[in-house]
């Protein structure tokens, strides 16, 4: 039997076929599943990048108040309110409330500066209403700081990664 396979060779061929599972319908990922997995990975990366840019925008505005004020604020935020600097994007509502408690009427101006700085970094195309009197544009707007952050986040994630740092 020169043309036939020995029993060991036949068994070896079967094991090799079992190890090659890429052609198996049970182990292969369909194109749709792969796209969904890649989309989720991209979405997570996009969220992380947006969160980093948001923290950077907030940090730059607080730095304009002076380094001692910025550092004292972050220490107060972490020690008294249990929000580390990196977790601000996950706690926007609480952060907004804290800003108002600490800075009082000046919080609206800070929020507006945060939004302008963030908008310049992510190019989210947020339109600021124009007014001729000295009343802050932020007060005229119908949406809160938190709603604006969420709108910019959605716009940013739907348009892809386009951060200008």
Identify the domain containing residue 70 by its residue range: 45-159
The pLDDT of residue 66 is 94
Asked if residue 131 is part of any domain, the answer here is: yes
Asked if residue 127 is part of any domain, the answer here is: yes
Asked if residue 76 is part of any domain, the answer here is: yes
**pTM higher than the cut 0.85:** no
Asked if residue 112 is part of any domain, the answer here is: yes
d(CA 18, CA 21) in angstroms, rounded, equals 6
Asked if residue 22 is part of any domain, the answer here is: no
Cβ atoms within 10 Å of 146's Cβ, excluding its own: 15
Asked if residue 21 is part of any domain, the answer here is: no
Which pLDDT tens digit goes with each residue over 88-115? 999 999 999 999 999 999 998 999 899 8
Cβ atoms within 10 Å of 95's Cβ, excluding its own: 21
* CATH code assigned at 78: 1.10.1200.200
Q: How many domains does the chain have?
A: 1
Eight-state DSSP code of residue 135: S
Asked if residue 30 is part of any domain, the answer here is: no
Which pLDDT tens digit goes with each residue over 48-93? 889 999 999 999 999 999 999 999 999 999 999 999 999 999 999 9
Query: Comparing C-alpha atoms, which of 152, 146, 77 is closest to residue 111?
Result: 146
């Amino acid at each position: 039997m020169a043309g036939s396979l020995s029993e060991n060779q036949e068994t070896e061929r079967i094991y090799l076929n079992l190890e090659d599972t890429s052609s198996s319908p049970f182990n292969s990922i369909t194109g749709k599943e792969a796209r969904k997995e890649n989309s989720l990975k991209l979405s997570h990366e996009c969220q992380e990048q947006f969160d980093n840019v948001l923290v950077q925008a907030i940090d730059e505005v607080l730095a304009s108040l002076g380094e001692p004020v910025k550092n004292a604020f972050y220490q107060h935020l972490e020690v008294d309110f249990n929000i580390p600097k990196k977790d601000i994007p996950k706690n926007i509502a609480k952060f907004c409330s804290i800003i108002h408690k600490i800075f009082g009427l000046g919080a609206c101006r800070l929020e507006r500066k945060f939004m302008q700085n963030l908008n310049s970094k992510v190019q989210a195309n947020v339109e600021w209403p124009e007014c001729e009197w000295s009343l802050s544009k932020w007060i005229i707007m119908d949406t809160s700081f938190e709603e604006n952050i969420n709108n910019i986040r959605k716009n940013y994630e739907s348009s892809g990664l386009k951060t200008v740092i």
